[in-house]
Structure 1
Amino acid sequence: MSVPAILFEDGEALVIDKPAGLPLDAPRTGGPSLNDQLEYLRLNFQRDPAPVHRLDRDTSGCLLLARNPKALKRFAAAFEARTVEKVYLGIVDGVIAQDAGTIELALSKVSTMKDGWRMIPARKGKPAITHWCKLAEHEGRTLVEFRPETGRTHQIRVHAASGLGAALLGDPVYGDGNNAARTMLHAAALTVPRDGKPPIVAQAPFPEDFAALGFAAPDAAQQNDDG
């Protein structure tokens, strides 16, 4: 698998465009992972950079890496404090009636011998909030912008399926897994505020497999609009 493109770089941070299909950790069954790329991503620094947050294997786009332990701690605290702005694009398998909204569904992890683990909406789960707006429709599918306020595991995937009533196209856990080679979710943009320094700002290119389904990249004005 090719080396991820670098979207942002300075002395304490890297943002890479993680390819769809590349897991962060080495799979138990073997195969490539981001771990294999970390030595290259040192880029002449002494340490391997460390992922600050997680993206699912299928999810493409902006992934923040810290170049030293102090930066890792600060960036992780920013995610925890919800000061990081994250913009995702997803193609859902259905037409959404509303134009925009906010999904508030608390999430909890469940596990069974038959199906393994998954996240489910649960009143006693951890709070999860996602703001969303509809960008385009094509052939019974909808391109949606998601702005998660919290960062729960599988949050957008569950909120699409249970909050919008239309799972992400290709999602094998919360949808039917059909009609796409992967779960169609892309981390399109990331902004991380920093004390005394300009923020980390990165945007990932619109995925080719999204375009192949008949959707076009949102313009910059749409990407940066808070509504």
Structure 2
Amino acid sequence: MVVPELTADEIQARVLHRDGLMLVIDKPAGLPVHRGPKGGANLETSFDALRFGLPRPPVLAHRLDRDTSGCLVLGRHRKATASLGLLFKHGKISKTYWAVVEGGPTGDEGTIDMPLGRLNAERGWWQKPDPEGQKAVTNWKVLGRGNGLTWLALEPVTGRTHQLRVHSAASGWPIVGDNIYGSGPRFGEPTLHLHSREIVIPISKNKDPVRVVAPAPRHLQERLRACGWNGE
């Protein structure tokens, strides 16, 4: 699934939260956040449309995989971006992802504690379970089931590359549409069913944390409904 770059109007329509320090936007699936070594469409190209009166466009405070949709945080100026970077680094920002997986866990909730390491040098960012690798912890909770699928809320305690995808697949319930770690388009579904649903950011010391929710994207909705989602 390759998505064209967003126009100014399209990316502005995806702003979920805006204040003086940061923006949270609803990233579409299929569009990388950075320009790759071979060029091509990417999200950063559209950031100039998100200045909203500031002299410079916002910059990424973290990243999402190309095929993951949902909440993406941008810093609006250098100091804010540095503060956000520290919050992400030290695990102060809580993230909840929605995933639809093949099969599913037998229980209702649990924790995956499974270190991850590089798959091999040729595959760059691809990961594998590795007892000698970096610590990686994911909390999960079942939100619904149906049609041989399970709708999960996944909360990464650590922030390893592809963590949720590898943890799900290695647990025996790969994410629908995962063409790297899962069975790929076995359901005739080329799009990864992983969505950054909610993010909670304690950006100001004397204010409540900012909580932002991204609506379920169109490509998840059919299978979410099969698992009991009511459209909210």
Structure 1 and Structure 2 fold alike (TM over 0.5): yes
When normalised by structure 2's length, the TM-score is 0.88
Task: Select 1:48's aligned residue among 57, 65, 84.
Answer: 57
Compared CA separation, residues 173 and 75, structure 1 to 2 (3 A): same
- For 1:203 and 1:146, the matched residues in 2 are separated by 14
The aligned residue for residue 61 of structure 1 is 70
Q: Within 5 A, what are the aligned runs for 1:51-90?
A: 51-90=60-99
Q: Which residue identity is paired with 2:164?
A: I
Task: Select 1:196's aligned residue among 206, 227, 230.
Answer: 206
The aligned residue for residue 171 of structure 1 is 178
Root mean square deviation, CA, Å: 1.8
- For 2:125 and 2:90, the matched residues in 1 are separated by 27
- For 1:16 and 1:117, the matched residues in 2 are separated by 24
Q: Deviations over 1:105-154 (max 9, x none)?
A: 011113254x5651011111111110001111121111110011111110
Task: Please give the secondary structure, in 1, of the residue aligned with 2:167.
Answer: helix
How many residues align? The count is 218
Structure 2 unaligned regions, length at least 5 = none
- For 1:89 and 1:58, the matched residues in 2 are separated by 13
Structure 1 unaligned regions, length at least 5 = 221-227
Q: Deviations over 1:12-56 (max 9, x none)?
A: 100000001110112344432111111001122111111111100
- For 2:42 and 2:128, the matched residues in 1 are separated by 27
- For 2:172 and 2:84, the matched residues in 1 are separated by 33
- For 2:180 and 2:32, the matched residues in 1 are separated by 17
**Are residues 1:100 and 2:109 paired?**
yes
- For 2:89 and 2:16, the matched residues in 1 are separated by 23
- For 2:89 and 2:125, the matched residues in 1 are separated by 24
Task: Please give the secondary structure, in 2, of the residue aligned with 1:197.
Answer: coil
- For 1:217 and 1:13, the matched residues in 2 are separated by 30
The aligned residue for residue 218 of structure 2 is 208
The aligned residue for residue 21 of structure 2 is 12
The aligned residue for residue 118 of structure 2 is 109
Q: Which residue identity is paired with 2:109?
A: A
Whether the 8 Å CA contact 1:8–1:201 is kept in 2: the answer is no
**Are residues 1:181 and 2:190 paired?**
yes
**Are residues 1:91 and 2:87 paired?**
no
Whether the 8 Å CA contact 1:87–1:187 is kept in 2: the answer is yes
**Are residues 1:134 and 2:142 paired?**
yes
Q: Which residue identity is paired with 1:36?
A: T
- For 1:47 and 1:198, the matched residues in 2 are separated by 27
- Higher strand proportion, which one? 1
- For 1:29 and 1:81, the matched residues in 2 are separated by 32
When normalised by structure 1's length, the TM-score is 0.90
Runs of 4+ in 1 over 6 A off after TM superposition: none
Whether the 8 Å CA contact 1:129–1:148 is kept in 2: the answer is yes
The aligned residue for residue 223 of structure 1 is none
- For 1:69 and 1:181, the matched residues in 2 are separated by 37
- For 1:44 and 1:146, the matched residues in 2 are separated by 36
